[in-house]
Amino acid sequence: MTETAPTRKQNLRKNSLERRERGKLELRRTILEAAVGLFERQGGFENFSLRQVAEEIGYSATTIYLHFADKEELIFHVALEGFKAFGEQLEAAYAHSDDVLLRLRLVGRAYLNFALENPIHYRLMFMQRGDFLERKPPGGQVSVIDSFGILRRAVEAAMKAGALDPGDPQAVAGLLWTHVHGVAALHIATPYFPKEQAEGLFEWSMTIAARGLGARAL
């Protein structure tokens, strides 16, 4: 087993493989972006077709199958990108303050903001395809459980600091989840809760929950 510098041929082969891999990933990206574009243009994924995606990006429909097993998997990966961005925004909110109560409020705001700014993704992730929540993402990517974990940790920390009455952090996090989801989901699904009203209801809900959970102020 001799340790020698790679020959020109070996380098060429390696770089060639890399280049082709890059091209492959690029097309995958292109497909995903075209799909998201279609989702947004038609306000949902119900009436979008692989053939439309293919037409838009200038490939035949069957080429998509070289990058995604089927339509379902393409949609799933759109949702996955949503979960990733969602988790990152919650994390950022969590890291933004050391005040345990303010942090909790910021995480809640980040949650609502994601829903307000990405209604198509939110709908897909939490209203239409909740089964995606439990579907194992490929290659150890983050799943939504981690996102819920952020909220739970924020609750836990607030309890430990005495800013919230002691209790089951998981349960309290669940309660808060239903509150903010209620506002977000009705905002997205119905015409009765436009942005400003949804934001107002969210603040109100947080205040009420804070009182009910023993917070001095939230």
Partner DNA sequence: CAATTTACATAACGCCGTTAAGTTTGTCAA
Partner DNA sequence: TTGACAAACTTAACGGCGTTATGTAAATTG
Binding site for DNA (CB under 7 A): 9, 12-13, 16-17, 19-20, 23-24, 27, 48-52, 58-63, 65-66, 70-72
Is residue 126 near a second copy by the rule CB under 8 A?
A: yes
**Nearest 5°: phi and psi at 44?**
145, 170
* Binding partner selected for residue 17 from DNA, a second copy, none, CB under the kind-specific 5 to 8 Å limit: DNA
Is residue 192 near a second copy by the rule CB under 8 A?
A: yes
**Nearest by Cα to 67 from 39, 34, 31, 35:** 31
CB-nearer residue toward DNA: 109 or 129: 129
Is residue 111 near a second copy by the rule CB under 8 A?
A: no
Binding mask 32-51 for a second copy (x = CB under 8 A): --------------x-----
CA 115 centroid distance within chain: 10
Note whether 216 and 163 are within 8 A (CB).
yes
CA distance 153 to 159: 10
Burial letters 9-37, b for 16+ CB under 10 A, else e: eeeeeeeeeeeeeeeeeebbebbbebbbe
- Residues in touch with a second copy (CB under 8 A): 46, 126-128, 130-131, 133-134, 174-175, 177-183, 185-186, 188-193, 197, 201, 204-205, 207-209, 211-213
